[in-house]
Amino acid sequence: MSFKSLYFFLLLLFFSCKDDFEENYTWHSLKVTATAYNSLKNQTDSDPHITAYGDSLKPGMKYIAVSNDLIKKGLRHDTPIKIKGLEGIYFVKDRMHPRWKNHIDIYMGIDVKAAKNWGRKRILIEYGIPKVTETTKN
């Protein structure tokens, strides 16, 4: 198989898996306040590369933290999230301090400038709740 054929095959596989992935969820819209954070000691705690759920953070990962009230709405650990204005699917991997309400924090690696440029904004997100099928019931 040539490199071009392999590339085309992988590209086709990626897009077909993405559609299958998105079809396995019921998507809900929600308007939230969004800020950004980095994995730096002065922004978190003594181990800034570990989330409240125990996941490891590495720059480039599409992860978010959510306020506790959003967890109660269904944005639990590993919930897929689409963020208006950003490409790709993000995943809930962290929780925020209980003082925050209706709030997400977008992980931006160690790029403090990108986090500051993002600032604080009201945005629309979509979050996926897994569809119940016969195979998921068993």
Q: What is the pLDDT along the chain (138 residues), one digit of tens a residue?
A: 555 555 555 444 454 455 566 788 899 999 999 999 988 777 666 667 788 888 888 888 999 999 999 999 999 999 999 999 899 999 999 999 999 999 999 999 889 999 999 999 999 999 999 888 655 555
What CATH number is associated with residue 120? 2.40.40.10
Domain count, the chain: 1
- Flag whether 18 is in a domain: no
- Flag whether 2 is in a domain: no
- Flag whether 13 is in a domain: no
Against a cut of 0.85, is the pTM above it? no
- Flag whether 3 is in a domain: no
Q: How far is CA 52 from CA 43, 64, 66, 114, 129, in A?
A: 14, 11, 11, 23, 21
For residue 117, what are the domain limits? 26-137
- Looking at residue 4, its pLDDT comes to 53
